Structure formats: structure tokens, C-alpha cells
A and B are shown apart, each in its own frame.
Chain A
Amino acid sequence: MGSGGKRKSNDTVRINRPIKRDSGTGTGGGGNGGGGGGRPRDINVMCPPAFEVGIKPPKSYPDGTLVTVKKDELLVQGESVGKLSEKQLEMMIECGGEGIQYTGKVVNKGNKAYARFEQRV
């Protein structure tokens, strides 16, 4: 992307482990996550820098209010505001296994509210 003293904050990437090509099996080595053989997974697809989940809080919370996750439940100040889908929950668990964790915060857009999860640096 560039050089200098400051990266662009919207251009972030996790560097994937190199794909080994010497096995001759075509299964590929290296790669990331998931375990086993098969095509290595792109960590940036597997664990996006950010994602959002629609929530329905009983009252409105200001932008930036912390969202916590308990199993698949989303909590704001101890109150349940929604759930992660099965796919999202699976993703958070898999990414956690890769050392990637997310922080959730409330984001209001018009009359809708979202839990926005971003990777912790």
C-alpha cells in the first residue's frame, strides 16, 4: 500500500502463512485455521476486520457503548439486545483460535442499532 510513517486505517490485512507447494498432493500446506488438509483458508475472509450484527435494545444506547458476548447472546450493560447467528458465533470461535479477538460496540444508524465488532489490535 505504501511507505512512510502512518498506515491508512481502512487498509489492514492479516498476512497469511505461505502456502507450501512441495507436497505434490495438491492439498496445500500452511494456510490458516480450520485444521486438516484441503485448501488453505484466507484469514482475511475467515476473520474480517469488522462485522456488524443488527440488535434490538430495549432502550437506546449511545454510539460506542460496549457490547459483550455470552455464548451467542449479545449484552449491553447487562441487558440482552440480540444474538449472534450460528455462523457468526462459529467465526468468532475460529478466529479466537487463531488469536484474533473482537471488541463490540453499539453503532446507531438512523433508527436502527447494530453491534459493530472490530478486531482488537
Chain B
Amino acid sequence: MHASSKGSDDDSQQSLFSLACDAAEFAPHVHPDELRSVRHSCAGRGRRDVVTCQDEYRDEFVEEVGTLDMSVIDLKGVTFPLDTFLPVVPHGMFDRDASEIPYPVVGVMLNDILTKRVSTRHDYYYLPEDTDIDTGVLNRSIFTGKRVILLTCGQDILIETMWWKRHELELFKKIGSIGFLAVTGMNFSIFSGECPFSHALNTMKGLRYCETLDQLGVWAVPHIYAINAPQRERWKDLLNARPHIRLVTINTQLQRTRKRDIRELIQTVEHLLENTRVSILLHGRGIGLSPRAKKAYVSRLHYAASGPLKSAVIRKDKSPSEYIQIFVSRLTAAL
């Protein structure tokens, strides 16, 4: 299934699947050029991982988000000064002393604020059916005196299930009641080779998540995935039309080794930096960005990572503070 997904979404070579894709119906929210990169059948997919343009219930999914037009979204775009680095606190540190992390603002992952977290069953990720949001999470000692940003990122099974059950779980009300400084958008997946209708739909789901939180008075930070030029343009247009949105985030945790993925990520980051005024919180790794870009946009680039604190918990050979120091010195080495 994945053997045919090696091409970039900006490649011009077309597959037969692209000719059978109906996503052009959704223009201008899907650009015709995006169809050229389709490398999987849009028919008979059974909504495995994505909803395609040929899904029999696709209109229900569009109805759920109202429209695929990103420009209808508005967010208040509260701002708060962020350090260059945002340490993400792993679950294993929740009962440690807050003074171990010398930062006033920290991050926490969605999975870590659940009463039952994602685990694996027969080699696949699995979310326990009776999980819920732990609304008392910020009472744990590590968060004492800190402002906390919820990073609503995670596995597809987590994100998609929480979205699907959002009303039953009263997801927005609960997240809104916890007292987070900010909440980032859900990182609904966008993979090259897949139907561009699914890309547009997932982008809107992420934005609607932010919008609903925003309406509850929560600072919602849009999460961006853009893997081709039309998608980058749409984000640029939205952010320029809503200049009060000053911070966005991009989850980079999957962009580790595949050069093409890293290249696409860099293109997106640099496109946003050069063509908008937003600051970007890169969640994962800051690899690949040129020293020039890092230096030119130093005040607009922030990095969130759980690696340093996880290392401190697992290895125990250095303090959390020392691991953070090492991480930050690598980040800033090129500046």
C-alpha cells in the first residue's frame, strides 16, 4: 500500500488513480494540481485512515465541518510571549517537583491527560473505550505555578476517536475548564498520495476544533500540515486575512529520516515565515531548517519537545534541567 506513496505532492508525474479522483469537485478548496499526486484509489477504501472523495457518506463529513472553505474560520488569536523552547512534560514526570523544570510555560500531550491512555493490542495502537479527559491534571505537582499548553497531537486512533466522540465526552467543555494557557489544533493526518479531499476535510476538522475552543475563550493555536504548494498558499491566505493569529504550530515528529518529508516540512515553514507574520511552534524536531532561516526568523521560531524530559526520566544520569540545556544548545548552535 505504501510502496506507491514515494512521490512528493509537488511532483508532476501522474498516476492512474489521480485520473479517477473526483476531488476537483471541491475547487477552489482543492486545487486541480493536487489531484496529480493521488497514488491510491479513492474508491472502496472503507474509510481506512481517510475519507476519500468517493466515499458514499462524504457529504455527511462535509456537513459536519460546514464547508471546506478555510476562509470562514476566525480565531481571536490571543498572544503570550513564549520562550524559544517549550518543554513537553511526559506522564512519568507528573508527580515530580515543578522546580525540576526551570521554565514558566510547559506543554503536555493530549494522550497524557486521559484517564486511560493509548496502548497497543496485537501490534496496533488502541484507545480504551472508556477513556476520558482528566480534568484535574493540572493539580499534579509538576504543573504547580506553571502555565501549560495542551498539544492536541497524537496517533490517528487517538485524534480521530476523540473528535468522533467529542460531544459524548464533552471534550471542548472539559478542555476549556482545565485552565490551559493555550490549546493547539488537532493534527489530523495529511499524507502525500492520498485523496486531496481528505486533506481539505482534515484541515477543516483541525480548524473547527480550534474555533470551538476559541468560542469558549480558550487560546487556540491552529495546527498546520501542508504538503504541496496549493495547501501552503491556502494557509498563507488565511493567516494574512487573519493577521491577529500570531502563532501556529506544526507537528514534526514524523519528519525524522525521509529526506522528502523533511524537505516538504522546510518548504512549509519557510513559506509561512517569508509570506506571513506568524510565529511557528515546531513540535518535535527543528531539523532541516537552514541556519540562515533559523537566524533570520529567530524571534518567530519556537520548539516544543518531550525528548529532553523523557531522557531525564529514563536515563536518570542528568537532571531535567541539564537535558533541556543540551537540547537548547543544539537548537541555538547555528545562530
A3 adjacent to B122 (CB under 8 Å)? no
Determine the chain A residues whose CB is within 8 A of the CB of B129 once the complex forms. Answer: 42, 45
* Beta-carbon contacts under 8 Å, B180-228 to A: 187, 189-193, 225-227
* Beta-carbon contacts under 8 Å, A91-121 to B: 98-100, 116, 119, 121
| Measured CA separation A43–B46 after assembly (Å) | 11
Q: Among A10, A20, A45, A98, which residue has its beta carbon within 8 angstroms of that of B123?
A: A10
Q: Give the contact stretch, choosing among B92-100, B249-257, B303-311, B314-322.
A: B249-257
* Beta-carbon contacts under 8 Å, B122-173 to A: 122-127, 129, 154-157, 159-161, 164-165, 167-168
Determine the chain B residues whose CB is within 8 A of the CB of A98 once the complex forms. Answer: 46
Known contacts A5-B261, A11-B156, A12-B48; A49 and B124 CB within 8 A of each other:
yes
Determine the chain B residues whose CB is within 8 A of the CB of A2 once the complex forms. Answer: 187, 189, 191, 225, 251, 253-254
Main secondary structure on B side of the interface with A: loop
Q: Which of A5, A8, A9, A20: most chain B Cβ within 10 A?
A: A5
Determine the chain A residues whose CB is within 8 A of the CB of B260 once the complex forms. Answer: 4-5
Whether a CB of chain B sits under 8 angstroms from the CB of A60 is: no
Within the complex, what minimum Cβ distance (angstroms) separates B298 from chain A?
Answer: 25
Determine the chain A residues whose CB is within 8 A of the CB of B126 once the complex forms. Answer: 48
Q: Among A6, A8, A14, A21, which residue has its beta carbon within 8 angstroms of that of B258?
A: A6
In this complex, what residue of B is CB-closest to A15?
A: B47
Known contacts A13-B49, A14-B48; A4 and B227 CB within 8 A of each other:
yes
Determine the chain A residues whose CB is within 8 A of the CB of B168 once the complex forms. Answer: 19
Whether a CB of chain B sits under 8 angstroms from the CB of A44 is: yes
B192 adjacent to A5 (CB under 8 Å)? yes
Number of B residues near A (Cβ < 8 Å) is 55
Q: Among A3, A6, A15, A51, which residue has its beta carbon within 8 angstroms of that of B5?
A: A6
Interface string of B48-60 (1 = CB under 8 A from A): 1111000001001
Whether a CB of chain A sits under 8 angstroms from the CB of B6 is: yes
| Measured CA separation A10–B126 after assembly (Å) | 10
Q: Among A1, A9, A16, which residue has its beta carbon within 8 angstroms of that of B164?
A: A16
Determine the chain A residues whose CB is within 8 A of the CB of B253 once the complex forms. Answer: 2
* Beta-carbon contacts under 8 Å, A51-80 to B: 51-52
A4 adjacent to B46 (CB under 8 Å)? no
| Measured CA separation A44–B47 after assembly (Å) | 11
Within the complex, what minimum Cβ distance (angstroms) separates A2 from chain B?
Answer: 4
Whether a CB of chain A sits under 8 angstroms from the CB of B1 is: yes
B2 adjacent to A7 (CB under 8 Å)? yes
Whether a CB of chain B sits under 8 angstroms from the CB of A30 is: yes
Determine the chain A residues whose CB is within 8 A of the CB of B50 once the complex forms. Answer: 15
Determine the chain A residues whose CB is within 8 A of the CB of B167 once the complex forms. Answer: 19, 21
Within the complex, what minimum Cβ distance (angstroms) separates B45 from chain A?
Answer: 9
Within the complex, what minimum Cβ distance (angstroms) separates A1 from chain B?
Answer: 4
A49 adjacent to B49 (CB under 8 Å)? no
A11 adjacent to B155 (CB under 8 Å)? yes
A15 adjacent to B49 (CB under 8 Å)? yes
Q: Among A6, A13, A19, A52, which residue has its beta carbon within 8 angstroms of that of B191?
A: A6
Q: Among B48, B122, B157, which residue has its beta carbon within 8 angstroms of that of A52?
A: B122
Determine the chain A residues whose CB is within 8 A of the CB of B264 once the complex forms. Answer: 3-4
* Beta-carbon contacts under 8 Å, A18-58 to B: 18-21, 30, 42-45, 48-52
Q: List 6 A-B contacts (CB under 8 A).
A: A2-B189, A6-B261, A11-B124, A15-B51, A51-B122, A99-B46
